[in-house]
Amino acid sequence: MKTKQIFTVLTILSGLLFASMNRAADITATNSGNWSDTNIWNSGTVPGTNDDADIPLGINVTVNTNASVQFIYDSGTVTMAPNSTLTILGDQAIDKLTSLVATATGNTVVYLGNPFFARQCNYYNLVFANTNYVDPYPPYNPYQNFNNFSSSQGPTPMTVAGNMTVIGYTKMQQGSAGADIFIGGNLIIGTNCIWDSSGANLTVVSNVFIGGLLEDLNGALGSNYFGGNVTVNPSATGGWNVSDVTQWAIGGSLTNNGPIFGVGYGSISFDGTGIITGSKPITIPTITVNGTYTIGTTITLATNTPTLNGTLVFDLANTNQIILNAGTNWLYYSGILDVINSGAAPVAGNSYKLFNAPNYGGSFTSTSFPSLPSGLNWVDNLATSGSIAVTGSSTGSPIITLSRSGNLLTLSWASTTFPGYSVQAQTNSAGIRSNWSATGSGTVSPYTITINPANPPVFFRLSNP
């Protein structure tokens, strides 16, 4: 949604970590006004990277530019202007008495220190970088948990209208008692970061990118819904832990390039339209499909039969399956099965295993299989082996087509649908006669010949002896 803007800001801010440490001041706002206006500060200078900003009661300072500061305190108000950026480097961040109004369109607040002291309020774009805080017990100390039971404000509901990004070493934990978080854009969980949505609702309107660890350690309370796509990136220590919760839901596609895992009754509900894919297979307790989803990778269900209320799409060009582990007994069908084919045409004897389970039960309300050449038929073995097969024999004959590129002539036909046919040729200036001969390599389409204008006419045909 606005990820490019956020990462651009982070690139610019990286230079702040190397700012000169030769001065540090406590600068007080004497009047309301813009942060960039030197006239509102008692020092006659704007607070900088190494300074603290004192905003007294009754004073409202508007961040109208890209501002940086160590610590903000006192009982006044800091207001973010549209498209402005405020970077707070110190671990203490913002005093709990200071009001922060950060909902203007396009603004970004970046915390580079301990996220425990970040203000729990509504934002437009919110970034936790945690690059300055040195934890005596790496990589996580309880005081790094943001918005949990031990936070200074306690668990607090929040709305982030744009994107939320957590990078560095950050642990986000939603406490109970209504600490719901609504993100109107994307959620980016960086490497070495943890997001635990225990005890409350997490809603992300757009996409979720998981480079660290996403989990919910208290699935009995709250639910988690991601309206867009979810991408799990490779991670040695993270991934998506669906354990202890049955209320993960996705409205878009799932791309798994890293670990997805879970035990017990952990589940993901696919409620929209998309594809379940990635470079890694998926192994979780079970899934629910309420929308329309293409199975683009192998899905192994460890404990429970899937709940199939929507439409499952399988492509015969791939070998993906839904597998129910042995010992979990029955896999029950329901919903709609749509089988498509983007590859070679099926031939008699082909068998395609879509489901793999000890036993099969239930039935699909409707099934759709790709069309077959005349004489071939589909055999539905879903109830006995989780597969479909092709039987019969093709009738009719193939049609040969030609195309020319320069001095190359290419002959094509449906050699998969009509096996056994081969190209024969004869050279004859007097017209077609009976002296046909095999071309040797012309047994599979396409067959390419080099044209020599100096040669007499050559005729080609398909033959099935």
pLDDT digits (tens, 9 = 90+) for 61-117: 999 999 999 999 999 999 999 999 999 999 889 998 999 999 999 999 999 988 888
The verdict on whether omega for the bond into residue 139 sits within 30 degrees of 0, i.e. cis, is: yes
Span 252-263, average pLDDT: 94
| Amino acid letter, residue 116 | F
Reduced to 3 states, what is the DSSP secondary structure of residue 429?
A: coil
Confidence of residue 21 (pLDDT cuts 50, 70, 90): very low
The pTM score is 0.81
Asked if the model's pLDDT at residue 9 lies above 60, the reply is no
The reported pLDDT for the residue numbered 296 is 97
pLDDT of residue 279: 94
Give residue 336's pLDDT: 98
| Parallel/antiparallel/unpaired status of strands 408-412 and 447-450 | antiparallel
In angstroms, the Cα distances linking 348 to 2, 247, 382 are 51, 44, 18
Count of CB atoms situated within 10 Å of the CB of 279:
10
The predicted pLDDT at position 16 comes to: 45
- Phi then psi for residue 242, to 5 deg, are -90, 10
Spatial separation of the C-alpha atoms in residues 253 and 296, rounded to whole Å: 10
* 3-7, 368-372, 402-406: least confidently modelled range: 3-7
Tokens of 329: 């007994």
CA angle 184, 190, 191 (to 5 degrees): 160
Instruction: Please check whether residue 259 is in contact with residue 232, taking contact to mean a CB–CB distance below 8 angstroms.
Output: yes
pLDDT number for residue 444:
84
Residue 286: the pLDDT is 92
Name the strand (E) or helix (H) holding 63: strand 60-63
Task: Of 150-159, 170-179, 255-264, 283-292, give the lowest mean pLDDT range.
Answer: 170-179
Query: What is the CA angle 312-318-323, rounded to 5?
Result: 55
Instruction: Cite the beta strand spans of 365-421 per DSSP E.
Output: 366-368, 376-381, 387-392, 401-405, 408-412
Task: Supply the pLDDT for residue 175.
Answer: 65
**How many residues are present in the chain?**
465
36-45, 81-90, 189-198, 394-403, range with the lowest pLDDT: 394-403
The pLDDT of 24-44, averaged and rounded, is 97
Give residue 6's pLDDT.
43
Mean pLDDT for the stretch of residues 109-137: 83
Greatest mean pLDDT among 84-98, 125-139, 211-225 = 84-98
Residue 28 has pLDDT above 80, yes or no: yes
Q: For the residues 299-304, what does the mean pLDDT come to?
A: 92
More confident residue, 389 or 328: 389
With vertex at residue 44, the alpha carbon angle to CA 38 and CA 46, rounded to the nearest 5 degrees, is: 50
Judged by average pLDDT, the poorest of 23-32, 119-128, 139-148, 408-417 is 139-148
- Write the CA distances from 439 to 158, 459, 464, integer angstroms: 74, 12, 13
CB-based contact 296:229 (threshold 8 Å): no
What confidence category does residue 177 fall into, taking pLDDT thresholds of 50, 70 and 90?
A: low
Q: How much is the mean pLDDT over the chain? A: 87
Cα 249 to chain centroid distance, Å, stands at 13
- Whether the predicted pLDDT of 363 surpasses 70: yes
Q: Is the pLDDT of residue 379 over 90?
A: yes
Q: Is the dihedral of CA 389, 303, 209, 85 positive or negative?
A: positive
Ranked by mean pLDDT, the top range of 18-32, 102-116, 142-156, 170-184 is 102-116
- Phi first, then psi, for residue 395 (nearest 5°) are -110, 160
Distance CA 428, CA 293 (A): 57
pLDDT at 114: 80
- Report whether pLDDT(134) > 60: no
Looking at residue 184, its pLDDT comes to: 99
Segment 122-135 mean pLDDT:
82
| Whether the predicted pLDDT of 15 surpasses 50 | no
**The pLDDT of residue 10:** 46
Residues 397-449 have pLDDT tens digits of: 788 888 989 889 998 888 777 777 889 988 887 778 888 888 877 788 898 98
Cα separation, 135 vs 117, in Å, equals 14
- Could you give phi then psi for residue 432, rounded to 5 degrees? -75, 130
Q: What percent of the chain has pLDDT over 70?
A: 89
Q: Kindly state the greatest CA–CA separation across the chain.
A: 106
Q: Can you give the pLDDT at residue 143?
A: 41
